[in-house]
Amino acid sequence: MKFHTVTLRLLLTALLLSAATSGNNSTEINLHHQTYTDDAVSATPPTSSVSSTSAPSFDPTSESSTLEENISTSSKFDTPTTVSSRPRHRTPTTVYTSIFQYACPPDFLRLGNGCYYFSKEMATWTIAHFECRAKDSQLMAIETAWEDGLMRRHLSMHAMTRLNRWIGGIYDWSQEEWVWGGSGDVMHYRGFLKEATQSRRWQCAYMAPELYYRWQRTQCTHTMHYICEAPFTRMPRPV
């Protein structure tokens, strides 16, 4: 019985010691926590060497004016990207009007690049030659197939009377060549229907309507109508 009593006392003592020890630890923890909390509360922010100033207030008007100043300042140095509204200088176009004109002599008709006179009278080849000279022209010299076709089409028109007409071709027996009587140049283009054995009597050329105005040759003493040819006349243009 005594042994049990002693044992119970020892257990109670141990419990009391254990309770006392845990109480002190709790107190220390609470005190430590309180101290940490007090330090955090009582702590003051460090003093800054820079003087404290109030934060600037936002002013939309001043911000906009500052932005406009920056834009206007930068535009003084930046290369402009806009195109000038001023009109560009254009080189004026000068139109030169000739004070001269080119015309055919009286009674001459313009065909293509030449002037032509169709006689109403008949004459021998020699007289026709001098009649054309008197009009500052010559018996027509047909030097290209184009000119030959142009004249044949014109003579074939219904308004033109179908007549034999002298042209300037004549056979030069000294050269044994066909030449143009007005200039003496050798005839390079020939519009004869066919080449025939030459006769001293048939040495002048004419255009025959029955052959669609192809060339023929005959005696120069025959009389027929003739065609004179003259260049354009350069003359002042009337104002």
Give the C-alpha separation, 208 to 166, whole Å.
9
Domain ranges of the chain: 105-233
DSSP states along the chain:
-HHHHHHHHHHHHHHHHHHHHHHHHHHHHHHHHHHHHHHHHH--PPPPSSPP-PPPPP-HHHHHHHHHHHHHHHHTTSPP-SPPSSPPP-PPPPPPPPSEEEEPPTT-EEETTEEEEE-SS-B-HHHHHHHHHHTT-EE----SHHHHHHHHHHHTSTTS----EEEEEEEETTTTEEEETTT--B--S--BSS----BTTB-EEEEEGGGTTEEEEE-TTS-BEEEEEEPPEEEEPP-
Contact 118/159 with Cβ under 8 angstroms? no
Q: Is the entire prediction scored with pTM above 0.95? A: no
Q: Give tens-digit pLDDT for 66-113.
A: 444 444 444 444 444 444 555 565 665 554 456 767 789 899 999 988
Of 42-56, 93-107, 168-182, 193-207, give the range with the top mean pLDDT. Answer: 168-182
Kindly tell me if the per-residue pLDDT of 20 is higher than 70.
no
Retrieve residue 181's tokens: 């009587």
What is the per-residue pLDDT for 107?
Answer: 93
**What's the first-to-final CA gap in the chain, in angstroms?**
166
pLDDT band for position 21 (cuts 50, 70, 90): low
Architecture field, domain 105-233: Roll (3.10)
Kindly tell me if the per-residue pLDDT of 197 is higher than 80.
no
**What integer best gives the mean pLDDT of the chain?**
72
